[in-house]
Structure formats: structure tokens, C-alpha cells
């Protein structure tokens, strides 16, 4: 057991590697040059957006319901000509569907910059050109110092002072075909409500993003915390405290049943996300999750079908129960690591779980030493 948990601890360190993103100049320090397409008087406000290192500069005139914007996106130099960027407003919801996009990319053949509008009507969009639900004028884009900057003047929908904005980047295939952006990490956190008067941002979430978070939290508690705890109780409590029999058994069963029931809820949220566009994503994580659910169901079923202690098949049942249990714990924690790589939450959450696994490793090794010494002491007394 200690070898398995030690391996998991090493696995946690080696698998939590995050991709790096190009950094843009903070918006307050950025100066539009004389060669840029920015208005001569610049913009009244600017915001450093929370992910993808992007920035939004804007001027809002409520008297004429007009918004002038310059959206800056870094990492778009000649070596990144196979990417597209977009900034959007969603007048009807906080999610992706319904967003009205300004799209730009550098054409691979000659390096010229293309900018156009695209309304999003489904999650499977490829950002086809189309008219938006509000008026857009002066749309253009340019490449300056490794950044694509999109400029436009927008007739603010419903003259609202709070906008649901989105921003994004994704791959550009040969033939200038826009392909789907990543559905993990920072790319699923590119939504925020913008107060045009104050410049304040409020994070926005759609249903899928909320389900991802719920799915992740539930499964960390179930497969990543309760399951290993129940295993430690079964392995060491009886040996260290003989008087705890059969209390250790009920603690073990209660812990594992609770973990299983919570895990079922996590599995259901995973199924909810495994539809439509999301069905073919993160296949390794998905199939391990299905396998975990099957193994845990076997464990729960075996609990009610276990032979009596003196039965001739009890030895084989124990081997089966222990083997499937260890596999469930191993793949449960492994799949949680895969989930961290997919969601890319704040570093503090990954570090916190790292310490949870480390605590289990230390506890398991310590208890194993105590049990071994107790057995040696009993042998020597005999």
C-alpha cells in the first residue's frame, strides 16, 4: 500500500504541468503607437482580462449608445499564424451560445490580417462569417509587437451599461478553417460581465462550466479523499487496535459507501457533460471514470455477497476485494490528476490536494511501521 501511495505522490508532481501563455503588456502601461489604428485620443478605460493574458481598451458614450473597443491578444506573431482570436458580446446570456463575435487571424499564406463578424448559434460553431444582432462599424485588426489588436465601434445592445463579454483563441487549420478551441483550462474561463461605467469585471459561467466545477469537487471528495481513507482504516485500524473489531469494519463500510454514493453523483454530472460536442473530449478521463464506477459497483456488490469467514472461498474473495479496491484507489487518484489538468484550477487547489495525498502516504508508511514492530514484538514474546 505504501508503495502504491508513494507512486501516486510522485505521479501527482509529474503530471500537474501547465501550458504557458504569452504575456501582454499591462493595459495601463500600453501605448498605442502612431502607426496603430487606435483613435488619436486613445481610450478612456482599460482592463487586463483574467485569462489568456488579453486586454480590453474601450471608450463608452452612453449619450449615443456607442462603445469603441480595442481588444489585444498576445502570442500572435509569425510563429503563431495558425491561431485565431475573438472577442464577443452576448446580449442574451452569460454563455457561449448567443455570443456575437469579432474574429481575427493572420492569413498563413501572406501574413495579412483578416477580421470579420460571426454570430454563435451552437457549441459546435466554426465561427462562420455572418451579421451580428447589433451594429458594428470600423471593424479592423492589425498585428503589432506579437499582438493581434481588434478595433471596432459597437452600437451597445439595449443601451445596457453591463455587458456579458467573452474572449477566446483557437487553432486555425490549413485553408483558413477555424477549429474548435480547447475545452479545458483557461479557455473555459473566458467569460466575464463588464460594467462599462466602472470598468469592473464579474466572472461569468455557463451551465457546462458550472457542471465541470461541481463534477471536479464531488469526485475529489469521493475518489480522492474518502476512498483512500476507508482503505487505511481497513488495513491498519484492526491490527493496531484489536479492541476496535468490529468497529473498524463499520467505519470502513460507512466511509466507502459514502464515497460510492457521492461518486455516483459525480458520475452523473460527468454523463451530463458527455453529450453533443463534449462527448469526444478527454476520452482517457472519461473511460477511466466509467471503469471506476464499474469497479466501485463491484466492490459494493461484493460487500453483500462476501462468504462467511470460515468459508472455503473467503480467501479468494479477500484477494478479489483487495485487488479491485487498490485499483479503484489508484485509478481514482490518477483520474483526479487528469481532471486537474483539464480544469486547471487555481494553483492553491492543486497544492492542497498534493498535501492530502502526501498526508495519506505518510500516514500509511507510519502505520505500516507500527504494525510491523507490533508483530515483531509479539513474535519475540513467544
Domain ranges of the chain: 2-16+208-381, 31-205
321 is in an annotated binding site: yes
326 is in an annotated binding site: no
Could you say which architecture CATH assigns to the domain 2-16+208-381? Up-down Bundle (1.20)
pLDDT in tens, 129-147: 999 999 999 999 998 888 8
285 is in an annotated binding site: yes
Omega prior to 246 cis, within 30 of 0: yes
Place of cell 451594429: 135
Q: Give me the helix-helix angle, 207-219 and 314-343, nearest 10°.
A: 140
| Cα–Cα dist 60/46, whole Å | 11
Q: How far is CA 188 from CA 20, 97, 181, in A?
A: 16, 13, 9
Task: Determine the pLDDT at residue 122.
Answer: 83
What is the longest distance spanned by two Cα atoms in the chain? 95
Half-sphere exposure (CA, 13 Å, Cβ side) for 169?
24
322 is in an annotated binding site: no
Cβ contact 335:284 at 8 Å: no
Set of cell numbers at residue 94: 452569460
Set of cell numbers at residue 20: 504557458
Candidates 208, 239, 216; CA nearest to 285 is: 216
pLDDT, averaged per 10 consecutive residues of the chain (382 residues), comes to 46 44 72 70 86 91 91 79 89 86 87 90 86 93 90 87 90 81 77 88 64 84 92 85 83 90 85 55 80 88 79 84 89 89 78 90 88 76 63
Q: Per the confidence metrics, is the pTM higher than 0.85?
A: no
Could you say which architecture CATH assigns to the domain 31-205? Sandwich (2.60)
Cβ contact 338:282 at 8 Å: yes
Cβ contact 284:290 at 8 Å: no
Amino acid at each position: 500500500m505504501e508503495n502504491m501511495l508513494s507512486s501516486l505522490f510522485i505521479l501527482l508532481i509529474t503530471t500537474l504541468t501547465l501550458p504557458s501563455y504569452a504575456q501582454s503588456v499591462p493595459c495601463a502601461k500600453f501605448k498605442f503607437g502612431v502607426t496603430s489604428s487606435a483613435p488619436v485620443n486613445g481610450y478612456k478605460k482599460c482592463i487586463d482580462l483574467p485569462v489568456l493574458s488579453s486586454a480590453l481598451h474601450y471608450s463608452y458614450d452612453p449619450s449615443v449608445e456607442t462603445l469603441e473597443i480595442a481588444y489585444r491578444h498576445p502570442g500572435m506573431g509569425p510563429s503563431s499564424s495558425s491561431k485565431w482570436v475573438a472577442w464577443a458580446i452576448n446580449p442574451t446570456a452569460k454563455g457561449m451560445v448567443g455570443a456575437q463575435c469579432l474574429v481575427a487571424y493572420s492569413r498563413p499564406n501572406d501574413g495579412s490580417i483578416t477580421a470579420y463578424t460571426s454570430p454563435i448559434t451552437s457549441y459546435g460553431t466554426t465561427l462562420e462569417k455572418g451579421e451580428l444582432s447589433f451594429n458594428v462599424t470600423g471593424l479592423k485588426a492589425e498585428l503589432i509587437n506579437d499582438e493581434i489588436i481588434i478595433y471596432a465601434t459597437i452600437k451597445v445592445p439595449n443601451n445596457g451599461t453591463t455587458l456579458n463579454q467573452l474572449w477566446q483563441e483557437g487553432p486555425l487549420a490549413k485553408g483558413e478553417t477555424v477549429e474548435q478551441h480547447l475545452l479545458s483550462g483557461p479557455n473555459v474561463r473566458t467569460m466575464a460581465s463588464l460594467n462599462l461605467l466602472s470598468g469592473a469585471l464579474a466572472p461569468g459561467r455557463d451551465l457546462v462550466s458550472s457542471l465541470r466545477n461541481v463534477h471536479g469537487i464531488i469526485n475529489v471528495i469521493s475518489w480522492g479523499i474518502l476512498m483512500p481513507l476507508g482503505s487505511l482504516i481497513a488495513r491498519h485500524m484492526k491490527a493496531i487496535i484489536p479492541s476496535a473489531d468490529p468497529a473498524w469494519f463499520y467505519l470502513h463500510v460507512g466511509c466507502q459507501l459514502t464515497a460510492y454514493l457521492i461518486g455516483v453523483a459525480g458520475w452523473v454530472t460527468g454523463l451530463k457533460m458527455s453529450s453533443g460536442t463534449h462527448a469526444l473530449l478527454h476520452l482517457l478521463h472519461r473511460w477511466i471514470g466509467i471503469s471506476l464506477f464499474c469497479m466501485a459497483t463491484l466492490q459494493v456488490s461484493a460487500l453483500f455477497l462476501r462468504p462467511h469467514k470460515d468459508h472455503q472461498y473467503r480467501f479468494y474473495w479477500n484477494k478479489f476485494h483487495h485487488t479491485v479496491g487498490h485499483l479503484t484507489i489508484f485509478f481514482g487518484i490518477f483520474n483526479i490528476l487528469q481532471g486537474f489538468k483539464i480544469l486547471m484550477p487555481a494553483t492553491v487547489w492543486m497544492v492542497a490536494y498534493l498535501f492530502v495525498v502526501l498526508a495519506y502516504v505518510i500516514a500509511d508508511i507510519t502505520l505500516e511501521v507500527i504494525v510491523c514492530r507490533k508483530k515483531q514484538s509479539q513474535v519475540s514474546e513467544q
